[in-house]
Structure 1
Amino acid sequence: MLRTPVSVRRLDILEWLKDPAAHFPRQRQGDLVEDGVTAAAVAAKLGVPRKVAETHLALLADIGVLRTRRIRRRLYYRRDEMRIAEVARMFEKGW
């Protein structure tokens, strides 16, 4: 996790996913809060191609701050609040 470069885009994604209903439009499948948002929705919000958004989301999922859920053919991303709190505690303690 510490080797992951900090990115304003990734920080924005994490911030938006705190309250996805306020930052993303309703989806045809999946609940924004319970299931998360798709890479396409994040890409539209960032103004980048879907593949770029998928790269950011995959990295955040790999380090454990996002959870994924597959509904039909799409992958949905949401924050893992317990993991984020755990990481914050590690940094507060001075790792």
Structure 2
Amino acid sequence: MSTLPALKALSNEKRLQIMRWIAAPVDHFPAQTDGDLVEDGVCVQSITEKIGLTQPTVTSHMRVLEKAGLVTSRQIKNWVFYKPNRTAIAAALDDLSMTLLR
């Protein structure tokens, strides 16, 4: 995984905040009717309510994070749930470390 798309995605403070929240979903979100916070991810509606942006704006932010490989999405009923892609995040951090700490 290239580190540059991840860094670009995280350079936006709203996306970085969302990543902080979904990395520890139980600490930041209430239980959901559909979908387990950890196993399935956080519903886009919950993210929208917490961050105070419109749903289309949050969806746009989540697409950027997904395109960078930092999150995965899953549809349950009419909602999309997002969770961190911990493997890709670790790979990006390893790549960054190798690049900067040679």
Q: Report how many residues are paired.
A: 95
Q: What's the secondary structure of 1:67's corresponding residue?
A: strand
Deviations 1:14-66 (A, max 9, x none): 11111101101111100001000111111111111111111111110111010
User: Superposed, which structure 2 residues align to 1:11-90 within 5 Å?
Assistant: 11-90=16-95
How much does 1:2 deviate? 6.0
Q: Which runs of 4+ in 1 moved over 2 A?
A: 2-5
Percent of aligned positions that are identical? 28
Q: Any gaps of 5 or more consecutive residues in structure 1?
A: none
What TM-score do you get using the length of structure 1 for normalisation? Answer: 0.92
Query: Does the aligned pair in 1 maintain the 2:6–2:65 contact within 8 Å?
Result: no
SS of alignment partner, residue 75 of structure 1:
strand
TM-score where L is the length of structure 2: 0.86
Shift in Å at residue 3 of structure 1? 7.7
For the residue of structure 1 that corresponds to 2:23, the secondary structure is coil
Q: 1:4 aligns with which of 1, 8, 23?
A: 8
Given residue 28 of structure 1, which amino acid in structure 2 is its aligned partner? T
Superposed displacement of residue 4, structure 1: 3.0
| Distance of 2:7 and 2:34 partners within structure 1 | 34
Provide structure 2 residue ranges, at least 5 long, that are not aligned to the other structure: none
Query: Contact 2:6 / 2:69 at 8 angstroms: preserved in 1?
Result: no
